[in-house]
Amino acid sequence: MGLFCNGFSLFLIVCSMAVAASGSFYQDFDLTWGDHRAKIFNGGQLLSLSLDKVSGSGFRSKKEYLFGRIDMQLKLVAGNSAGTVTAYYLSSQGPTHDEIDFEFLGNLSGDPYILHTNVFTQGKGNREQQFYLWFDPTRNFHTYSVIWSQQHIIFLVDNIPIRVFKNGESIGVPFPKSQPMRIYSSLWNADDWATRGGLVKTDWTKAPFTAYYRNFKADACSWSSGSSSCGSRSSSSFSDRCMAY
């Protein structure tokens, strides 16, 4: 099992299996916005994002990935989280980007979060599917995963597949397979649409709102531009050499 990435000569690209041994958030991610609202602590084992009236916050992976399995444990904003959205997604860059999204739409205390999923290919989304979770995602950490191969993208919650996006190229639907993606997450205010379609607003007296992350694992083909392990970004052979499981 796993990804088989052959060494090859023309392009200095190294496919690596970043197996288990979940490193540290310091090593794998950059805090990208929100100043002190994004934090890494417990020696790199825990990350938190928070949102207050002034700003939300976010982070992104240092590496880009092309196929593989990516796991992260999240514990979402507890209590009255109405109006807040915690987005956790993979995305490439540019106007024809690909994207694989988990978005958690907050709610009033005791009312269920919505897990909103989407897939963008070549800059086009509109493939939303929403789910109610079978547990309270604010009480404990739960694992949210993406398995991304040439054949399909599978969204999993605690190892249970909740959505499969199949490669439909044979019927003319573009599939994400050539643009490497970074992992991103952000916590932000979206009370114009998030909760009951925007009817319930964020209660700022409850701020700051905080979500937690741990146990990141990428069993994936990575390429980190600018680092010594990878060179050219332009090889189309890259995906051919990385055969997904």
Ligand X SMILES: *[C@@H]1O[C@H](CO)[C@@H](O)[C@H](O)[C@H]1NC(C)=O
Name which position in 16, 44, 78, 111 contacts ligand X (CB under 6 A): 111
77 lines the binding site for ligand X (CB under 6 A): no
| Amino acid symbol at 177 | K
Active site residue 64: no
Catalytic residue among 64, 99, 128, 169: 99
Query: Exposed (0-12), middle (13-18) or buried (19+): which is 121, by Cβ within 10 Å?
Result: buried
Catalytic residue list contains 128: no
Q: Please give the full DSSP string across 165-202, using - where no structure is assigned.
A: EE--GGGT-----SS-BEEEEEEEE-TTTSGGGGTSPP
Kindly tell me which residue out of 114, 115, 181, 230 binds ligand X, with binding defined by CB under 6 A.
114
As measured in angstroms, the least distance from the Cβ of 206 to ligand X is 16
Our finding on whether 107 is near ligand X (CB under 6 A) is yes
| Residue 77 CB coordination number (10 Å) | 26
Let me know: does 65 contact 184? Beta carbons within 8 Å.
Answer: no
Residue nearest to ligand X according to CB distances in the complex: 111
Candidates 64-72, 107-115, 169-177, 211-219: pick the segment binding ligand X (CB under 6 A). 107-115
Q: How far is CA 19 from CA 1, 65, 188, in A?
A: 12, 13, 31
Tokens of 32: 């990208």
Query: Site for ligand X (CB under 6 A): how many residues?
Result: 8
- How many Cα atoms are found within 13 Å in the side-chain-facing hemisphere of 203? 13
The pattern of x and - marking residues 180 through 219 that bind ligand X according to CB under 6 A reads --------------xxx-----------------------
Q: How far is the CB of 214 from ligand X (least distance, A)?
A: 24
Stretch that binds ligand X, among 104-112, 135-143, 167-175, 215-223 (CB under 6 A): 104-112
Closest approach of ligand X to the CB of residue 162, in Å: 17
Rounded to a whole number of angstroms, the minimum distance from the CB of residue 2 to ligand X is 37
Q: Does 112 bind ligand X (CB under 6 A)?
A: yes
As a whole number of angstroms, the distance between CA 213 and CA 42 comes to: 12
SS (H, E, C) 221-240: EEECCCCCCECCCCCCHHHH
Q: Which residues bind ligand X (CB under 6 A)?
A: 105, 107, 111-112, 114, 194-196
Q: Which residues participate in catalysis according to the annotation?
A: 99, 103
